């Protein structure tokens, strides 16, 4: 069985056409290249918008590389060993984000060896899935928000997600009422508080916002506050979505067992890569809950074609890898008429550009 011969990393920063926050108009991507002892190669990545990119790369360079060299290239074999190796630095967070870089590179290597894309490699179950329109829009004024929603409707999305969490919930309600009017009664409207509320404020806000018929409320509380979610789950009829800031299958199992969420949203990078993502998807399927992969349509759009459950993909405006010039156009995943279309290419189907930046050359 082939073994890992070398691992190299490159830290890069790509500017976003529509920044998520004004003070950080870029995304950090760490490209991870693997060569096995037979000369086969794989190229993966890990990702963090604003926090921790240099720390993630240091874990890859200093700890994961030394532990992985000479080990199996089979990701299902290697991942639990490396997670145990890094656990002293934390069970999740920058440790799992670092693991994702190597894990995605190993899946790319496997796919290239087999000449198969991810969906075929895993066993394709469907031709396409739907995508919903999404964006970071709490800072937008009413006219800009209306224009964004109009673009999503024109693009064929039958569901959209809008941020909430203004200092005065009355402003949230006014904005959502406008969005609901634009969408009409048949399109779904999801709302996302991005962990801005405590239990008391979440409870009172959701009572008022329920008039716009939200399909779900995402992260109303801090993701760590499981006890708070238990109480909120009893206080509202609005489905609760949670998971983009949950990092391990153990935490997802805890959320499932305690019944605190209706929709679970693993981010394929933050949970440690494709290997643990597939395990979490199986957990959610067995629990009869809804899976909604968080961000990264270039990867999650491909995985969605092979998952046991049908999922919707999050289409964040101008944030895919082609839009930020992180990969060559066209990418393997395109979203047209609200539907995900995938061109099958070996491995991940894309390679992060090699464009060293100041953040990289300063190391």
Residues annotated as catalytic (active site), given as ranges: 163, 294
**Residue 195 main-chain phi, psi, to 5 deg:** 65, 25
Q: What's the CA gap between 328 and 44, in Å, rounded?
A: 15
The residue among 332, 246, 342 whose CA lies nearest residue 292 is 246
| Whole-number Å distance between alpha carbons of 155 and 335 | 9
Q: In 10 A of CB 329, how many CB atoms? A: 9
DSSP lists the bridge partners of residue 240 as 217
Please list, residue by residue across 140-178, b when 16 or more beta carbons sit within 10 angstroms of its beta carbon and e when fewer do: beeeebbebbeebbebebbbbbbbbbeeebeebbebbeb
Tokens of 131: 């995508």
Nearest to residue 91, comparing CAs of 203, 252, 330, 236?
Answer: 252
Helices (H), the chain: 53-58, 65-68, 75-86, 94-114, 118-122, 142-154, 169-183, 199-209, 226-235, 249-258, 274-287, 297-303, 358-361
């Amino acid at each position: 069985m082939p073994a890992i011969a070398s691992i190299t990393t490159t830290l890069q920063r790509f500017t976003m056409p529509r920044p998520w926050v004004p003070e950080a108009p870029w995304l950090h991507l760490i490209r991870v290249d693997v060569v096995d002892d037979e000369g086969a190669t794989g190229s993966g990545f890990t990702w963090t918008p604003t926090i921790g990119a240099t720390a993630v790369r240091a874990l890859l360079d200093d700890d994961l590389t030394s532990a992985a060299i000479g080990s199996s290239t089979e990701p299902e074999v290697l991942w639990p060993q490396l997670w145990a190796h890094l656990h002293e630095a934390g069970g999740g967070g920058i440790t799992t984000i670092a693991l994702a870089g190597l894990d995605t590179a190993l899946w790319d290597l496997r796919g290239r060896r087999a000449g198969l894309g991810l969906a075929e490699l895993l066993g394709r179950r469907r031709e396409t899935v739907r995508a919903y329109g999404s964006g970071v829009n709490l800072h937008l004024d009413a006219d800009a928000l209306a224009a964004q929603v109009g673009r999503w409707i024109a693009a064929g999305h039958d569901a959209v997600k809008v941020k909430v969490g203004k200092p005065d919930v009355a402003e949230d309600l006014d904005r959502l009422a406008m969005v609901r009017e634009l969408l009409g009664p048949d399109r779904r409207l999801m709302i996302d508080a991005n962990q801005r509320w405590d239990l008391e404020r979440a409870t009172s806000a959701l009572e008022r916002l329920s008039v716009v018929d939200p399909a779900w409320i995402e992260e109303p509380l801090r993701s760590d506050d499981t006890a708070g979610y238990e109480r909120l789950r009893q206080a509202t009829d609005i489905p609760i979505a949670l998971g983009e800031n949950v990092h391990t299958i153990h935490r997802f199992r805890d959320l499932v067992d305690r019944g605190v969420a209706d929709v679970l949203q693993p981010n394929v990078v933050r949970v440690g890569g494709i290997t643990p993502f597939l395990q979490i998807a199986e957990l959610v399927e067995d629990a009869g809950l809804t899976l909604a992969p968080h961000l990264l349509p270039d990867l999650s759009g491909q995985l969605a074609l092979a998952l046991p459950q049908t999922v919707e993909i999050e289409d964040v405006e101008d944030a895919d890898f082609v839009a930020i010039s992180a990969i060559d156009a066209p990418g393997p995943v395109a979203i047209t008429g609200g539907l995900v279309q995938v061109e099958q290419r070996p491995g991940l189907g894309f390679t992060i550009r090699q464009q060293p930046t100041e953040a990289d050359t300063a190391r």
